[in-house]
Amino acid sequence: MKFVLMTLLLAEWLFAVSGEEVFSKKCVSCHGYYIPQSKLNRNYEQNNTDLKLTAPTLTELSFRLKDQVGDRTTDAEGQKFEIEEFLADYLKNPSKEKSVLRKETHHIFPIMPNMKGEVSEEEVEALADFMYEYAEQMMIAHGVQRHSYKEAVQIAKKEKKIILIEGFIPYCRGCIKMDREVLVEPEVKEALNKDFVLVKKNLLIEKLPLGIKRLGTPSFYFINTEGTKVLEMVQGTGTVEEFMELLKSVKKNQ
């Protein structure tokens, strides 16, 4: 009996629906995957004449679903369920009123085709999981490498770099904006990789080192090479240019 149960569970695992596969088969003909937000912003300012997109990218959809559907402050599984319910309804009855896209882009993209009967409940569930996780995966893949604080201190001492702690909370829009629009840009990545070691701390559940009292989020804490002294603490969002100036100032005055 145990053998039969194990066989059934293994078969269920082997043949489980993949959200990535569902997207590839049923969505990718219209939706692309990742395009840097700076390029998307320029494209939308030019009324889609630059990229000529037929639909928003998967990265945009992932960010917007997490921001607009359900309770952003709840646990991941709870919001995934809410996103699953939203997708199940939206795929059958798409409309601009239900759209999670920014209103300024509504005129660019037509309403998607009705997919009633084309996506099963299992596929919707898998798609919800895949889309929920995708945005965070892209920020990691295209951003600067993060380290634990212990690792950062070791690297900083060895390579004579400044430790930079990025303080965030998961549902902070400003934090997402910085990760999505600033820390992925080539000149920022180059500057950070050259002179800094980046640590990312969830300030809801993690303490800052050296007894640092947390600021609001997003916040950035610069610590000297030896990991013994705070050089600068800054709260808030900014442009690529402003962040680059901050990095230069900290480097100059360390």
Euclidean distance between CA atoms 134 and 201, whole angstroms: 20
Residue 54 exposed, middle or buried by CB count within 10 Å (0-12, 13-18, 19+): middle
CATH code for residues 146-253: 3.40.30.10
Nearest-CA neighbor of 227 among 164, 185, 133? 164
Q: Residue 12 and residue 25: Cα distance in Å, rounded?
A: 21
Residue 12: per-residue pLDDT:
43
pLDDT digits (tens, 9 = 90+) for 7-22: 444 444 444 789 999 9
Choose the most confident range, by mean pLDDT, from 12-16, 75-79, 236-240: 236-240
Split at pLDDT 50, 70, 90, the class of 6 is low
The residue ranges of every structural domain in the chain are 16-141, 146-253
- In tens, the pLDDT along 83-130 reads 999 999 999 999 999 999 988 888 999 999 999 999 999 999 999 999
Per residue in 26-67, pLDDT (tens digit) is: 999 999 999 999 999 999 999 999 999 999 999 999 999 999
Rounded to two decimals, what is the model's pTM? 0.85
**Considering only CA atoms, which of 69, 171, 183 is closest in space to residue 128?**
69
